[in-house]
Structure 1
Amino acid sequence: MQTNNPKNVVLRFNREVIEDGNRSSFEALMAPDFVNWTAPDASLRGGENMWKTFDGVLRPALSGLHVVIHDQLLDGDKVTTRKTLRGKHIGPLLGVEPTDQPLSIDVIDIVRVRGGQYVEHWGINTLSAVIAQLSSK
């Protein structure tokens, strides 16, 4: 596997960071000037807040967190990935108590990769819809 191939960098991030919670992989894959354009305001756009989303929110709430990658498209230095995050809801998730039910969050990410690292991120996901559905039960 070519380690600096942008698609492989994104695949590695999904496996080692999101699924495994590997902090050293996260640090290796995030450029110091990383910007998450999806964050709600400028103070939350750095890499550390992305780490907190996975390690502090999703991984504690979802047992067996697994990323299913459906599609990846490469355009220059940008990788678009359509994926689903799956796990069993075993811990609080954004104020919703555990249901012990399987959950799926659909995601479309665009990541700009430079030198084997994430430089920019844009994305949409169905987490708010999942939370709304859980809250109505």
Structure 2
Amino acid sequence: MSQVHMKGTDQQVQLEAFRRLIEEGFSGGDTAIVDEVCAADYIEHQDGIEPKDRNGLKGAIGFLHALSPNIEVKVEDAMVSGDRLWARLKGCGTHSGTILGGPTDRPFEITIMDMCRFRDGKIVEHWGVADRLSQMEQLGIMSRPGQRSGQAE
């Protein structure tokens, strides 16, 4: 982790819960971590994740590992203030799964910005934005204007 800005015990608990979700869940593929670190009434606000609860989050982890079984997601920066955590993540992997037209066997990097709200040490809400356009360009699925799909930059 590059930088972590936090103070106090509550913030440390929040950061640890988030770190476990990223490392054990999104990098490791363990969906059981969701029930450990997310509240039963968890609400997901990120587009593309359905249903908007813990089951949707588990599905997102499964989707990511179907896309790239070797995915590694790291917390690059994180800041905690009160009941909120903001983080910048970087994911790296190879498109070796069968979804999104795969496998292309192309490597990719994706940047994700996350914000979570906590209650009693558990994540109760999440908002996230991932740079999917850049990811699709790297995989050759989409191209920039004036460039054919799959064409190198």
TM-score by shorter chain over 0.5:
yes
In structure 2, the residue corresponding to 1:113 is in which secondary structure? strand
Write the deviation string for residues 22-80 of structure 1: whole angstroms up to 9, x where unpaired.
23222111211111122359x6311211111111x111211321112211011111111
In structure 1, the residue corresponding to 2:71 is in which secondary structure? strand
Question: Taking structure 1 as the reference length, what is the TM-score of the superposition?
Answer: 0.85
Q: Following TM superposition, by how much is the alpha carbon of 1:103 offset from its aligned partner in structure 2, in angstroms? A: 1.1
CA contact under 8 A between 1:84 and 1:107: conserved in structure 2? yes
2:35 paired with 1:30: no
Number of residue equivalences: 133
Which entry has the higher C-alpha Rg, 1 or 2? 2
CA contact under 8 A between 2:71 and 2:91: conserved in structure 1? yes
2:127 partner amino acid:
W
2:77 paired with 1:51: no
2:24 paired with 1:16: yes
Aligned to 1:110: 115
Aligned to 1:75: 81
CA contact under 8 A between 1:31 and 1:119: conserved in structure 2? yes
Separation (CA, whole Å) in 2 of partners of 1:130 and 1:92:
16
Separation (CA, whole Å) in 2 of partners of 1:110 and 1:14:
13
Separation (CA, whole Å) in 1 of partners of 2:125 and 2:89:
18
CA contact under 8 A between 1:96 and 1:131: conserved in structure 2? no
Per mean C-alpha deviation after superposition, the further-off stretch among 72-81 and 15-24 is 15-24
Write the deviation string for residues 3-39 of structure 1: whole angstroms up to 9, x where unpaired.
9711111111101111112232221112111111223
2:91 paired with 1:92: no
Separation (CA, whole Å) in 2 of partners of 1:15 and 1:24:
12
The Cα RMSD (Å) is: 2.1
- Fraction of identical pairs, as percent: 23
CA contact under 8 A between 2:31 and 2:61: conserved in structure 1? no
- In terms of fraction of residues, the more strand-rich structure is 1
Q: Following TM superposition, by how much is the alpha carbon of 1:120 offset from its aligned partner in structure 2, in angstroms? A: 0.2
Question: Taking structure 2 as the reference length, what is the TM-score of the superposition?
Answer: 0.77
